[in-house]
Structure 1
Amino acid sequence: MVNSMALSSSRMAGYSDASTPGHRASDAPGEAHRHTAHVDGSGVHLPVDPLGRAAYNADEEAMMRLWAAWPLLTTTSILLAQTPTGAIVGRVLDPSGGVVPAATVIVRHPDTSQMRTTQAGEDGAFAVPLLPPGTYEVIVEKAGFRRLVNPAVTVQAGDVHRLELRLEIGEVIQTVEVRSEPPPTNTDHGTKGDTITIDEKDNMPLPGRSFGDLAYLVAGVGPNSDGGYGSGYIVNGARGDNTNFVVDGVSTYNRRSGKIILTPPLDAMREFRVETSGYSAEYGRLAGGVLTVVLKSGTNRL
């Protein structure tokens, strides 16, 4: 009631409808007056246009600011959606097992010739994060020691590959090449699941030509019932609509049907990973597993 009386009195006080024939606004030409009206008993004032309407309110202002920030928000979400990566960490040691500080560690991708260089700390430890899945060459150099080359260090999406690199006494111009090493053991997180590499995929018969068939090879993953709601996977007993799908870091989960939105061709897949439990909080929202696909990238060779 207070609002209606305040706005009505504002119209009668100095405004008439200029859009109606025969009427003209009482304000002098060229003047842009802004009147105020009480909108409640607390004394809050809002601007009023020549027709006595409140020019804006809090909800409209918030909506305008949201639309103005929308391009920034969408751009940020695109930037955050990046290809899943792994890391190479480890220590540089001398022949007696003592740490070698300040050694130069070079990680090189043979297919693209991209290199990452870091330096070991005072405790001999080093870390090279955010590496796309693939096989890398690790080179260690330090004055007074022979150059160490490990030509085949495999990095998988979401994994941390730990190395213990032992240098030998000698000149830097001499090189020690590591021909073999024990298979890596994950000691950095408790994620359960399995990773299927490109070589395994190429040598495995898949009648349906679908990467999704590879998920049934992982312990804890079974097919959904015929006509069951959601995807075709039951992970650790969860419902079929509780399996998340991630392609190159972007979730392709359809919230309405519980199925995958984007199904990339099998030949475009580089790595396929199934996480059944204990996965990172970044894949939250669903109680089942996470199916991650990493697509192939360009190399120096056609």
Structure 2
Amino acid sequence: MVPTDVVAALSVLNGHARAFGCGRDAIYQYKGLVARIYAAAGQANARPVGVMAKCNYCLGTGKFFCQYNGQTDDPCRKCARSGYVFLRFTETTIEGHSWHHPWISEGSEIYRRSVGASAIEYDPATRSIWVTKSDQQPANIGFGFVGDWQPNSKGEGTVGERAAELLNTVEDWLFATRPDGFDLRWDIERAQRAATGYSLRLGWIGDHCHYCGEPNIRIGQGHYVRPFEWTVRCCEVHSKMEVGTWDKRVPPAALTPAVLKWAERRSWSADKPGAAP
């Protein structure tokens, strides 16, 4: 099974992803993979849950919003003029951590594996599912109450050393994982590809002007040099620099041990030309 420190790190990273932190899509891939592994072992403690929420397509108006012509009088194509939609999830409880997986994208598959079903069919009229297991009649199951949890709840992002520590914990396990048979091979390979497809946000680097040390700051100068994103502070004078003269080297202060370990997997090192002063 998955080490407990990996599951714990993923729960923190789940909130980080909700805050649109770095590696958001990759983190959801990791979480889904772990849930599938536990589901296949019958240890995901999964259940279908649902909640009514305001429609994001029409913002609760019930009227179709056209990106070219704006608000119309036509019924919203998502909620059929009701202004609300029924959101479905699979709730898994793994090592004491509760996660919610959107039903359409991966939740139904996680639930199917967890209960050993051969097929699952959603009935929109009753907002329930028909679960079929081998040699058994289909069973009708409703979507349970979500409790205190709500979709799109606020998360807490992190940057630099702390983000790298959490991501390293999960990705060290991920790249050491081998599929047990063919069933999870694609899920593991897909998660491994996602691991190298994002940049690490290092946040704000330094308290004074990056170029002269002036304490009175005028702007923040943002940089993106794969695989990093960071921001340095600039005084009034250096805020007027031409873009071509900006220092695009990663500040040494940001290259902590965890960050360097994270970068090594992306074939990046501080010894490369232009990596650091």
TM-score (norm 1): 0.19
TM-score (norm 2): 0.20
Bigger RCO of structures 1 and 2 (CA < 8 A, at least 6 apart)? 2
Higher helix content, 1 or 2: 2
Name which one, 1 or 2, has greater alpha-carbon Rg.
1
